[in-house]
Amino acid sequence: MLLEWPIGSATVQLGISADEPVRVIGVDPPDADFGADRPAATPLVELGLDAEGRTGSSPNGQHRLYSASARLRYVTRQETTEPTGRVLRIVQRDPVTGVEVTSRLEHRDGATAVRAETLVENRGTAPVTLRYVSSLNLTGFTGEPIAADTERLVLSWARNGWATEFRWQHHTLEQAGIADPSPLGGARHDSSRAHVGVASFGSWSTGNFLAVGAVTDQRTGRCWTWQIEHNGAWQWQAFDVTSSLTLALSGPTSAEHSWSLRLGPGERFSSVPATLAVSPGGLEGALAEMTRHRRLTRRPNRDNRECPVIFNDYMNCLMGDPTTEKLRPLVRAAAEAGCEYFVIDCGWYAGNAGWWDTVGDWEPAATRFPRGLGEVTDAIKAAGMTPGLWLEPEVVGVRSAVAARFPSEAYFCRDGRPIIENGRYQLDFTHPEATRHLDETVDRLIGQLGIGYLKLDYNINIGHGTDTGGRSPGAGLLDHNRAYSRWLDALFARHPGLVVENCSSGGMRADHAQLSRLSVQSTSDQVDPVLYAAIAASAASAVTPEQAAVWAYPQPHWSDDLNDLTLVNALLGRVHLSGRVDQLNPSARRRVAGAVGVYKRIRRRIPHATATWPLGLPGWYDAWIAAGLADTEGVLLQLWRRGGEAQLDIPIRALTGRAAAVAVLFPSGSPAEARWDPRPGVLSTHLPGVPSACLLEIRPELP
């Protein structure tokens, strides 16, 4: 039986029969033409149990052919309409162990996307040990063997690193490591046994890769993009099965993350969620659908609707050395520039320079604020801004005054001893003493100082996890990740108007588990504005624009072009103003205020627009970069020249054939030139300076 379940303009196609597991045939637009031969299907769920092996010859590290998966048989299905959207549940059962598996698929109107997770329940009489549970499997990208057109499918993923975030890479299947071993027209091999695997490591969910990826059909333009919605360990694999591409997405695994879970009779486990978005409009179209999904599944909050301007005293400014005397002129300058939040970053709790391993009590340092930190927060409020503070809630320094307050089991442990990572302990949020301490801390700071913004940072990677209570390290990390999310939910229940920024050495935890809760995402710790341009341009591929905080840090010794460039970086996301704005000359201060003024005029459009990359997602060293936001009013376009010739033609396909007016919104009086030719849909641009940047508006004329 073929079950077709619509998800917007696409359809989830499942094969159900009595003598095999439920299988995924594909997730395709309704006009997809696969010809007479359907692609090979893949099991809806892959389930690895106990010490069982596989049903086929060695899959060489592939997460497929598990014995328990092969035994699953269809039991029932249920379709419901719930407050979150339409839900399809498919129930399967393993007759040998009694394990029951429920696949939950969810679709919300407004995006062509499906969110999937797997619930495993032990309905047998003996314990079982879980070692792998897939969240989402997928195949059916084309109806022909991989070898029929070796460059038809492109596999994309994004590298991530400290100060080098959001770097997308695109590979043919062979370049990625996947080759079809079967001769065309001949007998098909089951698989080459090779795979490409992308995984997180430890507690930085995006410390090496973003939890996103995509497959694009170069012939038709169809694109499937996915994200794994977890703030800890995850992985996805791509491999060939009977000459077709197959994907497997999951949370932590035994092989990659030292994860296993003993499930007693009656006990349950839920996989981490994963979402798939589909579009006929290539990677850009699929990412637009994913942006819509992110907005639909995010905690509603005023901050993401209004996009207030934030000043933070850290980057290329005080760099963790705040005092009353240093902050006062910055408060005045930030207010004059039009900022609405003023955030005091790290160092406010430290009485000396060697504070890294003493953090944890989160009390203002009297040496920095002799008359109390309240003197500064009162000045911020008097200047018409909301005060904010930096906090690193999950760590306690080994020399902290509160380190001995916690029992050892409140920390991440191995073999009964707390793990020390770079002079710090990691709190385990499953322990009540950890959350009690942080609840008291946050409530005190809000109550005493009127804090309305918290920047929550996390600057260590604790590794695979904690084995306290006999858990596998990976299970301990997963428990903590989920407990941390519950702590955030409880925080907003107590303080619903609080704005919370997600930071982890910049973008090392830029995942949707965090971003579905928190208002703002730090995109980077990059100190060079020219390098930052590539990060700012790509951020909307993983973060909704209204959540993507980009540093703009003008300096008194920089040229006007460079100061304008750092301001342009932030104008289509969330402005994170910093730098020595207090030391700028009057002309430079007017330029900063002008940039903020432009942002305030256009920010109403940001929460509804989707990203466009007319030159493609940028490479780290690209000479020219173009990134914009498209909506019903036209296109707002950031343009950077970091090298190359001064002239460049940029295709704007969405406006091809339409007359349009082009204006340079920032900087005022810019020598940048831009001319629109509607017939080919090309914007001819000229930027004389290197490096330089501008913000353009392309507004189509009414018919």
In this predicted model, what pLDDT tens digit does every residue of 226-269 receive, in sequence order? 999 999 999 999 999 989 999 999 999 999 999 999 999 999 99
Backbone angles phi, psi at 275, to 5 degrees: -120, 140
Q: Are 242 and 127 in contact (CB under 8 A)?
A: no
Q: Are 467 and 422 in contact (CB under 8 A)?
A: no
Instruction: Report pLDDT for 167.
Output: 98
Other Cβ atoms less than 10 A from the Cβ of 482: the count is 18
Q: Which is nearest to 247 in space by CA: 278, 208, 219?
A: 278
Say whether pLDDT at 560 is over 80: yes
Q: Are 135 and 252 in contact (CB under 8 A)?
A: no
Q: Are 93 and 267 in contact (CB under 8 A)?
A: no
Chain-centroid distance, C-alpha 117: 18
Cα(47)–Cα(636) distance, rounded to whole angstroms? 46
Q: Which is nearest to 290 in space by CA: 445, 108, 461?
A: 108
* Beta bridge partners of residue 660, listed in sequence order: 700
Q: Are 455 and 522 in contact (CB under 8 A)?
A: yes
Return the percent helix, strand and coil in the chain, to nearest 5: 25, 35, 40
Other Cβ atoms less than 10 A from the Cβ of 9: the count is 14
The identity of residue 176, as a single letter, is: A
Q: Are 528 and 562 in contact (CB under 8 A)?
A: no
Cα(97)–Cα(52) distance, rounded to whole angstroms? 12
109 is written with which tokens? Answer: 């109107």
Other Cβ atoms less than 10 A from the Cβ of 561: the count is 18
Say whether pLDDT at 459 is over 50: yes
Q: Which is nearest to 218 in space by CA: 143, 286, 151?
A: 151
Instruction: Report pLDDT for 185.
Output: 62
Convert 513-547 to b/e letters by CB count within 10 Å (16 or more is b).
Answer: bbbbbbbbbbbbbbeebbebbbbbbbbbbbbbbbb
Say whether pLDDT at 353 is over 90: no
Cα(575)–Cα(597) distance, rounded to whole angstroms? 11
Residues with Cβ within 8 Å of 560's Cβ and at least 6 positions away in sequence, in order, are 588, 591, 667
User: Could you give the 3-state DSSP secondary structure of residue 245?
Assistant: strand
Instruction: Report pLDDT for 55.
Output: 84
User: What is the mean pLDDT of the segment spanning 611-624?
Assistant: 98
Cα(584)–Cα(692) distance, rounded to whole angstroms? 19
Q: What is the pLDDT of residues 652-691, one digit of tens each?
A: 999 999 999 999 999 999 999 999 999 999 999 999 999 9
Quote the strand ranges of 22-127, DSSP E: 23-28, 42-43, 47-49, 73-82, 85-93, 99-107, 113-122
pTM over 0.85: yes
Instruction: Report pLDDT for 609.
Output: 98
Please provide the size of the chain in residues. Answer: 703
Q: What is the pLDDT of residues 132-141, one digit of tens each?
A: 999 999 999 9
Residues with Cβ within 8 Å of 271's Cβ and at least 6 positions away in sequence, in order, are 117, 118, 119, 120, 133, 134, 135, 250, 251
Element (H, E) at 626: strand 624-631
Cα within 13 Å of Cα(419), Cβ side: 20
Start-to-end CA distance of the chain, whole Å, equals: 49
- DSSP string spanning 327-365? HHHHHHHHHHHT-SEEEE-TTTT-SSS--GGG-SS----
Class of residue 396 by CB neighbours under 10 A (exposed 0-12, middle 13-18, buried 19+): buried
Average pLDDT, whole number, for the chain?
A: 96
User: What is the mean pLDDT of the segment spanning 121-141?
Assistant: 97
User: What value does the CA radius of gyration of the chain take, rounded to a whole number of Å?
Assistant: 26
Chain-centroid distance, C-alpha 34: 33
Instruction: Report pLDDT for 655.
Output: 95
Q: What is the pLDDT of residues 62-90, one digit of tens each?
A: 999 999 999 999 999 999 999 989 999 99
Cα(522)–Cα(649) distance, rounded to whole angstroms? 32
User: Could you give the 3-state DSSP secondary structure of residue 468?
Assistant: helix
Q: Are 116 and 133 in contact (CB under 8 A)?
A: no
Q: Is the dihedral of CA 387, 393, 399, 405 positive or negative?
A: positive
Domain ranges of the chain: 2-296, 302-608
Q: What angle do CA 359, 360, 365 make, to 5 degrees?
A: 60
Q: Are 415 and 466 in contact (CB under 8 A)?
A: no
Q: Which is nearest to 629 in space by CA: 302, 297, 291?
A: 291
Instruction: Report pLDDT for 35.
Output: 41
Cα(78)–Cα(58) distance, rounded to whole angstroms? 36
Say whether pLDDT at 339 is over 60: yes
600 is written with which tokens? Answer: 């305030």
Instruction: Report pLDDT for 191.
Output: 87
Say whether pLDDT at 36 is over 50: no
Where do the H-state alpha helices sit in 51-192? 67-71, 173-176
Other Cβ atoms less than 10 A from the Cβ of 79: the count is 10
Instruction: Report pLDDT for 653.
Output: 92
2-296 is classed CATH 3.40.50.2020: no
Instruction: Report pLDDT for 78.
Output: 98
Q: What is the CATH number of domain 302-608?
A: 3.20.20.70
495 is written with which tokens? Answer: 């303080």
Cα within 13 Å of Cα(11), Cβ side: 12
Cα(349)–Cα(364) distance, rounded to whole angstroms? 4
Say whether pLDDT at 38 is over 60: no
Determine what percent of the chain is predicted with pLDDT higher than 70. 97
Cα(535)–Cα(548) distance, rounded to whole angstroms? 10
